[in-house]
Structure 1
Amino acid sequence: MNWIVVTLIAAAAQTGRNAAQRKLTAEIGTMGATAVRFLFGLPFAAVFLLALSATTPIPTPGLRALVSTLVGAASQIAATALMLAAMERRGFGVTTALIKTEPVTLAIFGALWLGDTLGPVHMAAIAIATFGVVLMSGTNWRSGGWGAVGLGIAAGALFGLSAIGFRGAILALPYGLSFLRASTILALSLLMQSAIMLAWFLLRDRATLRGIIRHWRGSLGAGFLGAFASFFWFHGFALTAAANVRTLALVEVVMAQLVSGRIFREGASQRQLLGMALIVAGVALLIAVSASG
């Protein structure tokens, strides 16, 4: 299974997880919804790892893998909280567009940290698709509030940093096939994130922890979808540069518009149609250059 198929599966699963988390935000707050993907995702990640390691030993993480995982885990917690906070402030369109500029950040972080240098055609594909997202958002940037813009920029950068941390951890493992490496780091990261979130709630916000327990049914579904999506994201990171994975994932924006029927029911502006065309063109260019390489 190549990185293109893996990424498309991850993007589809993430759509369901985001919907579940958004619903939980109204019931248990931003921090509660943030924690759910980690606390309730950990048992599923552990099951994934045990199933995959039935015939192959689990690779033992060294110091570099542990540090990289911690960087990715902490960055993802902060990024998720900022994203959900931006949604609450009704800056959804602005924030979504800014978060989706993550591939640009990833290309920079990947080159500096992991040496994932991308050629000029790769960079052009990333830039084209990312600019398409900004256009397709169809958002009046000022109407969202500059606070929401700031949250979106910060969340996008932290999501980029988390992806680089996880890819670095996967590559640092001493042995194992790509899917086993991905599952190992996923379980380790969720363990770290669950410990961080539990410590926070016990020290600062026990009411939210009680709310999470009360809404365990909805939280369980969000946890499963989160673990399932993350497994395929991590598998993609094991196969290619994180910037490639996140750029291909931008097709999720187009698919969401088509599935919702928004374009056909309400019409679309020329700017939105141009944005969609740029996303498709950028992703097609990325796939073409990756296939030829």
Structure 2
Amino acid sequence: MDLWIPITVFAAFCQNARSALQRHFTARLGTTGATFVRFGYGVPFALLYLAGLHVVGGMPLPEPNASFAIFGMIGGIAQILATFLLVYLFSLRNFVAGTAYSKTEPVQAAIFGLVLLGETITPLAGVAIAVGVVGVIFVSLAGKPVSAGALLTALTGRPAQIGLASAAMFGISAVCYRAASLALGGPGFLMQAGFTLAFVTAFQTLAMVAWMSLREPDQLRASMTHWRGAVWVGLVGVAGSAGWFTAMTLEKVAYVRALGQVELIFTFIVSWWFFREKLMPGEIVGTVLIAGGIVLLLLGT
């Protein structure tokens, strides 16, 4: 078994746990505060992980360059926006629906490649995109009567727009993180990923502190007040990010994100067991279709 496979499964599990914790914090802190704790409380753990690789593991620190910094900062900003949108989406729909929207990330990557870069897609990839769209419609219309108006709302309504935008930002951040890590050119995949993680997390924290100090100081104070619970968000978030960064340093983003769909299984468990949410048949079918569409997309590219 290739090393990136168990690392990706671990990252998906941690990401699901972090999303569940962030949703819990949304009621206490609001969307911005719940987004900030993911990064702000993750910095100490990211630096501790980097120090462990260097001091305990004996791995030399890489020399950063302009490409690394640019890709890292772009990816960091994109991930902040993606996380903010995803946390906000959880307040509009249930936990499974919110995560399902975010799982359209690989589908959107194909669309952006065609529109912005002129990259063509195979017929199978085209079918995959259609399947993914149908899956989103099923999730959006779960428990509602199906009509032309309802179908239009599913594609253009607020939850769909927010979810698809979140997926797009996640896609951009993932590609940028892989580019930043590879730009270091050594001394090994663990240190490349760890160094990138520490840099990005620190940059994201500084950016959010600056923004919140000017625009939402009450959210910043609230995030400090609830530090006991927020620490766990930071710990689990950094553990998951370390997994994603390492896996994407070892393997292409598309393959890593495809395997990451195992998170949907964790999502169903968390939604049913922790949040006591009743899952609609349409949501289950839609989520399966979205996951199936992504698998077909990877087979067709």
- Between 1:204-213 and 1:277-286, the stretch displaced more is 277-286
- Residue number in structure 1 paired with 2:40: 39
1:4 offset after TM fit, Å? 1.6
Is the contact between residue 106 and residue 171 of structure 2 (CA under 8 Å) also seen in structure 1?
A: yes
- Residue number in structure 1 paired with 2:31: 30
SS at 2:52's partner residue? helix
Picking from 240, 246, 250, the partner of 1:239 is 250
| Compared CA separation, residues 26 and 125, structure 1 to 2 (3 A) | same
- Residue number in structure 2 paired with 1:78: 81
Question: How far apart, CA to CA, are the structure 1 residues paired with 2:83 and 2:283?
Answer: 29
1:174 offset after TM fit, Å? 2.5
Equivalence map 1:120-131=2 (5 Å): 123=125, 127=129, 130=132
Question: How far apart, CA to CA, are the structure 2 residues paired with 1:238 and 1:122?
Answer: 27
1:83 offset after TM fit, Å? 1.4
Question: How far apart, CA to CA, are the structure 1 residues paired with 2:43 and 2:30?
Answer: 20
1:261 offset after TM fit, Å? 5.5
1:49 offset after TM fit, Å? 0.7
Question: How far apart, CA to CA, are the structure 2 residues paired with 1:113 and 1:50?
Answer: 40
| Compared CA separation, residues 253 and 172, structure 1 to 2 (3 A) | same
Question: How far apart, CA to CA, are the structure 1 residues paired with 2:221 and 2:129?
Answer: 44
1:169 offset after TM fit, Å? 0.3
1:129 offset after TM fit, Å? 8.2
1:78 offset after TM fit, Å? 1.0
SS at 1:53's partner residue? helix
Is the contact between residue 42 and residue 187 of structure 1 (CA under 8 Å) also seen in structure 2?
A: yes
Equivalence map 1:115-264=2 (5 Å): 123=125, 127=129, 130=132, 134=136, 137=139, 139-140=141-142, 142=153, 146-257=157-268
| Compared CA separation, residues 69 and 110, structure 1 to 2 (3 A) | farther
Aligned-partner residue type, residue 279 of structure 1:
A
1:236 offset after TM fit, Å? 1.3
Aligned-partner residue type, residue 134 of structure 1:
V
Segments of 5+ residues of structure 1 without an aligned counterpart are: none
Question: How far apart, CA to CA, are the structure 2 residues paired with 1:145 and 1:94?
Answer: 16
Q: Is it true that 1:20 corresponds to 2:21 in the alignment?
A: yes
Picking from 102, 106, 130, the partner of 1:103 is 106
Is the contact between residue 110 and residue 242 of structure 1 (CA under 8 Å) also seen in structure 2?
A: no
- Between 1:272-281 and 1:10-19, the stretch displaced more is 272-281
1:170 offset after TM fit, Å? 0.7
Query: Which string of whole-angstrom CA distances, capped at 9 and with x for unpartnered residues, describes residues 36-84 of structure 1?
Result: 0111001000011111122111112100010000100001111111112
| Compared CA separation, residues 106 and 144, structure 1 to 2 (3 A) | closer
Tell me the TM-score normalized by structure 2.
Answer: 0.80
- Residue number in structure 1 paired with 2:145: none
Question: How far apart, CA to CA, are the structure 1 residues paired with 2:261 and 2:197?
Answer: 22
Question: How far apart, CA to CA, are the structure 1 residues paired with 2:217 and 2:195?
Answer: 30
Aligned-partner residue type, residue 78 of structure 1:
L
1:201 offset after TM fit, Å? 1.9
Q: Is it true that 1:64 corresponds to 2:72 in the alignment?
A: no
Query: Which string of whole-angstrom CA distances, capped at 9 and with x for unpartnered residues, describes residues 109-141 of structure 1?
Result: 689999xx9995995897598468537737446
Segments of 5+ residues of structure 2 without an aligned counterpart are: 143-149
Q: Is it true that 1:279 corresponds to 2:279 in the alignment?
A: no
Question: How far apart, CA to CA, are the structure 2 residues paired with 1:122 and 1:53?
Answer: 45
| Compared CA separation, residues 183 and 274, structure 1 to 2 (3 A) | same
Aligned-partner residue type, residue 291 of structure 2:
I
RMSD: 3.6
Is the contact between residue 71 and residue 179 of structure 2 (CA under 8 Å) also seen in structure 1?
A: yes
Aligned-partner residue type, residue 83 of structure 1:
L
Question: How far apart, CA to CA, are the structure 1 residues paired with 2:121 and 2:3?
Answer: 20
Tell me the TM-score normalized by structure 1.
Answer: 0.82
